Amino acid sequence: MFWKKIDKSLVKKYVRPIYQKINKNLHGSLDVFRLAGQTFAKERAPEAAASMAYFTFFSLFPLILVIISFASFILKSQFVQDQVYQFIIDLIPISPDIIVSNIENVLTKRGTVGWLAIVGLIWSATTMFNIFALNVDRAWSDERSHNFLERRLIGIIIIVGLSILILLLWGFKTLIKIELVENLLAYFQIPIFQTTLYEILAYITPRVFRFIIFWVMYQWIPKALVKPSEAFWGASFAIILTELITVVMNWYISSQWVRYELIYGSLGRIIALMLWIYFSSYVILFGAHISSATGVLFRKRYNNTFPKEEYQ
């Protein structure tokens, strides 16, 4: 192999000084990515990303049904469904119509969901969060991990939290659009819905929402004590990379370079959705390792316990 023929002494002599200089100018950022990559490979996170994508795909429909059923006890069912569909389009930009059409079909055939059915759906929906919590714990390998029941409880809390947060967002959105507020905006000649600012906010809001979800989960899910700043960097990495993946995949799918239907037929768009979930899972898990590496390196730096030969 080519890499085996490289003299390590030459690497230490020429490459290491360059690495150290760049790393110093970036305040240790290269070390964060290096350590994150090492722990990511050690914990077999790429395989975990495939597993997470699999369980996410099969947990997605129960999760959406749970949110619709839970919110329908508070708001009108049709209003909830319309808002959930819009939320899906904002949150899952790759082939959202497949999910929406299937959910509509299920809701049409199943009728009203009782409490017992909701419990079953919640258990199915928590599978994706169970796998996610397991692998986030592994990112903090020197710390204790949650057991099976704790991970399931985390999943249930996340589902309830998402439902409540979505209801609050819908409430705010509805408040803006009620007749009294619209009349006040028209009376004071405030064309808020026709401004560039409104379009920018409409674009940014779903991304800020996802960033907050990443930030909260990276800090709260691990059994280790995670500082907000450590979770922040992992969430920043995850939101930037997932957005980039979405843009690239949307461009690639809409281009003439790929024709999934020629190979997979009617399953082509489902395959595209699965790929997006897999790549996003890969990035999200790596974001957890970014948070862990940030914590390990900078805690040791500030405690003056980090080996000099490793960091300098």
- Per-residue pLDDT reduced to its tens digit, 120-134: 767 777 888 888 888
Which three-class secondary structure state does DSSP give residue 26?
Answer: coil
Q: What is the mean pLDDT of residues 45-64?
A: 80
Print the SS3 string covering 146-188. CCHHHHHHHHHHHHHHHHHHHHHHHHHHHHHHCHHHHHHHHHC
CA distance 156 to 136: 17
State the chain's maximal CA–CA distance in angstroms.
76
pLDDT of res. 205 = 79
- Asked whether the predicted pLDDT for residue 90 surpasses 60, the reply is yes
- Asked whether the predicted pLDDT for residue 137 surpasses 80, the reply is yes
- End-to-end CA gap in the chain: 30
Has this prediction a pTM greater than 0.85? Answer: no
Alpha carbon of 111 to those of 60, 99, 104, 127, 271: distances in Å? Answer: 19, 18, 11, 24, 29
68 neighbors 80 (Cβ within 8 angstroms): yes
- Asked whether the predicted pLDDT for residue 311 surpasses 50, the reply is no
